[in-house]
Structure 1
Amino acid sequence: MTDATAARRTSGAAVGVAGAGDATAIAVLPEASPELVAAVERAGGVVGPLDDRTRGLVWSGSSGADALVAALERAPGIEWVQLPWAGIDPFAGVLPRFRGDGRVWTSGKGVYSAPVAEHALALTLAAMRRLPRRARATEWRRDGSARTLYAADVVVLGAGGIASELLHLLAPFGVRATVVRRSDVPLAGAERTVTLDRLGEAAAGADVLVVAAALTEETRGVVDASVLAALAPGAVVVNVGRGPIIDTDALLAALEAGHLGGAGLDVTDPEPLPAGHPLWRSPDCVITPHVADALETTPALLAARVERNVRAFLGDGEYLGLVDLDAGY
């Protein structure tokens, strides 16, 4: 790689854009959705087929990691890759091979923060108000088992856009929020921030645990039996991050033992959750099929990110959602 090429890859200068010998700059694959094509063109990019002129790749997400690798091998001149989701774990098995190759990688980090945080709040309230159990009821029966979110002790695992937006939504409830993240850098809206190795300490006596972190080797299975046991009796657990962050067997055991008051899961392990899995039968568990960001407005949110990053690729502004291949997000 020449010094000039390296400079382009880090600065986002245009390669093969309009007026540069009709070279094709950006491919939108594996399906060229109208929203993403329009976003590239609004930003001044040229959309075309994947070939040796391609310098940017917007991956629309309808095919897996192997297809992405094949595209990059077919067009080795690609200097910037936009991934479609906030989490890059679907590509975790192949991304390490591209470490240090000079490409710029961006993802959907932050794109879906508002809808996912809203969904997390909905799951939290549903679990605390015992709606899973009551929605299944077939007779009128009153009880005082519901809990309130007002003034609750809430632990949020993760410190990205979803966590930040969730803390904003929780503010009217006057919660006491603790954020658990890789570093102890404070996050607005949280009373304290602690590192991941202190998750058990943070969970001690908490009323709510919300998982909103990326799946990495550090976070896989980190919400285990000991963390769940540390929560207050009747606490609720919500997961809008990734299923494997929570030990499913431990979660089931805590629900069945009555230690947890409920769970709200938009992601599971395994996923999709098979028919007949015990979680489906848990009376205090509400499950949504990974739809926290599935709104009519979602395509427009991703398109706005693509437009912004195409401009950065062409030298106008900074990239959003930069991926650290070493960190895994």
Structure 2
Amino acid sequence: MIPSPPSADRANRPGTGDATALRVAVEPTRDPHLVAAVEGAGGSVVPLEEARVLVWIGGPDGFPALPQQVEWVALSTAGIEHFVAEGVLDDRRTWTNASGFYARGVAEHALALLLAGTRQVVRSAHTRWAKDAVDPTVRTLRGASVAIIGAGGIGRELVPLLTACGARTLAVTRSGRPVEGAALTVPAERTEEVLAQADHVVLAAPDTPETRHLINDRTLALLRPHSWIVNVARGPLIDQAALYRALTAGLIGGAALDVTDPEPPAPDDPLFGLDTVVITPHVANPAGRLTEEMAGPLAENLRRFVDGEDLLSVVEYGRGY
């Protein structure tokens, strides 16, 4: 749980306990899962001009001018860099994102990608029964060290999955506060130290100026010839030209990407031609289930709002996540 910034205290101070005063706009469309969450919390779905809360399930394009009385805006995505770039956020009200809301499914996808790489499912899919070439490169997660860069909600869901596979987890967080189940947790400034210890890397960090091209020529050189990089976060965390150079030079084992930069990649992107790369089309959190997955955490946050408790996944204004 992230406490609200001081500038947003109004939205988190003790509420009246009267859910009937909870007037929520669900825009730009009244999604039935989210409408049900609002009504299940005792609130009512109203037009934006009457609302205290806006639940926004669109992107920054078309984001409305906010009436004075809106105290809290709930965004439906975990990554909000596009909202930040468009200047949508302000410091007058509380903003929440969906950080952690979809973590379990994304963690499952990350594990699937890592296993597809280490077990050489990816390479096998590019060939026809190339046993002599594939067999020597199959590896296990048992005893391996896996670095999770940005071990927030996704990382915390991924750690027990990796542990069940026999892997040792090295966690990197902004603060360095211990992540339950991780063998080691370090602050972000020690990322390169962790990369040098890791067999494999999972990227789950937000896209910020500090994380842009976190994986580059220098950091790739810290990895091992068998290392796989999994990205379920944002494409710009990886310098893809540097990644291509490392892959073709055999500096690392492979890359499994659910996100790319740009997105979607060009049809002739050279990464598509490598049998050490798998790219899934940003489906770790499938759009078709987004609002269904969001409904439960939204209902919890609505309850907290009414009761004057700290909200989940409050955006730190000025940091962009």
| 1:54 aligned to which of 48, 51, 59 | 51
Other-structure match for 1:119:
109
CA-based RMSD of the aligned residues comes to 2.2
Task: Give me the whole-angstrom Cα distance separating, in 2, the residues matched to 1:295 and 1:326.
Answer: 27
| 2:190 aligned to which of 188, 195, 198 | 198
Matches within 5 A, 1:118-267: 118-142=108-132, 143-267=135-259
Q: Scaled by the length of structure 2, what TM-score is found? A: 0.91
Kindly tell me the number of residue pairs found equivalent between the two proteins. 313
| 2:62 aligned to which of 56, 61, 67 | 67
Task: Give me the whole-angstrom Cα distance separating, in 1, the residues matched to 2:178 and 2:163.
Answer: 16
Per-residue deviation, residues 185-207 of structure 1 (Å, max 9, x unmatched):
11112111122222222111421
Task: Give me the whole-angstrom Cα distance separating, in 1, the residues matched to 2:211 and 2:279.
Answer: 21
Task: Give me the whole-angstrom Cα distance separating, in 1, the residues matched to 2:83 and 2:68.
Answer: 18
1:107–1:118 CA distance, 2 compared to 1 (3 A): same
Q: Does the CA-based 8 Å contact 1:95-1:325 persist in structure 2?
A: no
Q: Does the CA-based 8 Å contact 2:12-2:311 persist in structure 1?
A: no
Q: Which residue identity is paired with 1:130?
A: Q
Structure 1: gaps (5+ residues) = none
Task: Give me the whole-angstrom Cα distance separating, in 2, the residues matched to 1:93 and 1:35.
Answer: 29
Per-residue deviation, residues 73-116 of structure 1 (Å, max 9, x unmatched):
xx2321100000112222121347513x1x11111111111110
1:307–1:296 CA distance, 2 compared to 1 (3 A): same
Q: Scaled by the length of structure 1, what TM-score is found? A: 0.88
Q: Shift of residue 253 of structure 1?
A: 0.8
Task: Give me the whole-angstrom Cα distance separating, in 2, the residues matched to 1:176 and 1:306.
Answer: 33
Query: SS of the residue aligned with 2:11?
Result: helix
Question: Does the alignment pair 1:35 with 2:25?
Answer: no
Higher relative contact order (CA 8 A, sep 6+): 2
1:121–1:97 CA distance, 2 compared to 1 (3 A): closer
Q: Which residue identity is paired with 1:89?
A: E
1:55–1:295 CA distance, 2 compared to 1 (3 A): closer
Q: Shift of residue 298 of structure 1?
A: 4.3
Q: Does the CA-based 8 Å contact 1:157-1:179 persist in structure 2?
A: yes
Q: Shift of residue 49 of structure 1?
A: 1.5
Question: Does the alignment pair 1:277 with 2:275?
Answer: no
How much identity, in percent, do the aligned residues show? 44
Other-structure match for 2:13:
11
Other-structure match for 1:90:
82
Q: Does the CA-based 8 Å contact 2:225-2:253 persist in structure 1?
A: yes
Q: Shift of residue 312 of structure 1?
A: 2.0
Structure 2: gaps (5+ residues) = 1-6
